[in-house]
Amino acid sequence: MSQTARPTSPHLGIYRWRVNMWQSVLHRLTGLFLCVGSLLVAWGLIAAASGADAWSTFAAFCASGIGVTLLIAWTWSLLFHLCNGIQHLFRDTGMGYDAAQRDHSRTPSYFATGWMVIAVSVALTALVWIGLFLRANGGAA
């Protein structure tokens, strides 16, 4: 059985990383992470139904350092998955694929909307959490 080093077909390695590849990877990763987050929703609802003790355990977890960190990560994951999902839904209709829209000089181009998805998800996450911190510290009127 002779082993000849045959050429293999090119895989992802030959492509330059563009924003749509990041969107694709992040959509799957945030989707997986949000599946874990859905269990937090279940925990919260079950705790609220079970009684005050169960609820205070849940609330204490959410208020802990790890809890807040996870909640910020879940907020961004949700907003990214949401914005990117909306872009998916528009592209499902065939929008954005014609040659003119893949032209960099045009706005919004195929890639510009990708950067918009990332920027909007980060901005909304910041907005939500800055608002929450301001309210907690009594800074917001």
Partner 1 sequence: MSAIGDDTLRTPLKNVRGLGSAQSGVRHWWLQRITAVALVPLSLWLLWLCAGLVHADYASVRAAIGQPVDAVLLVALVVSLFWHGALGLQVVIEDYIHTRWQEVVLQILVRFGAFLAAVACIFAIARIALG
Residues that bind partner 1 (CB under 8 A): 28, 31-32, 34-35, 38-39, 41-42, 45-46, 48-50, 52, 55-56, 75, 78, 82, 85-86, 88-89, 92, 128, 131-132, 135-136
Long-range contacts of 74-78 (CB under 8 A, 24+ apart): 74/33, 74/34, 74/37, 74/40, 75/125, 75/128, 75/129, 76/30, 76/121, 76/122, 76/125, 77/30, 77/33, 77/34, 77/37, 78/30, 78/34, 78/37
Shortest distance, position 105 Cβ to partner 1, whole Å? 31
Shortest distance, position 103 Cβ to partner 1, whole Å? 28
State which residue, 63 or 106, has the beta carbon closest to partner 1: 63
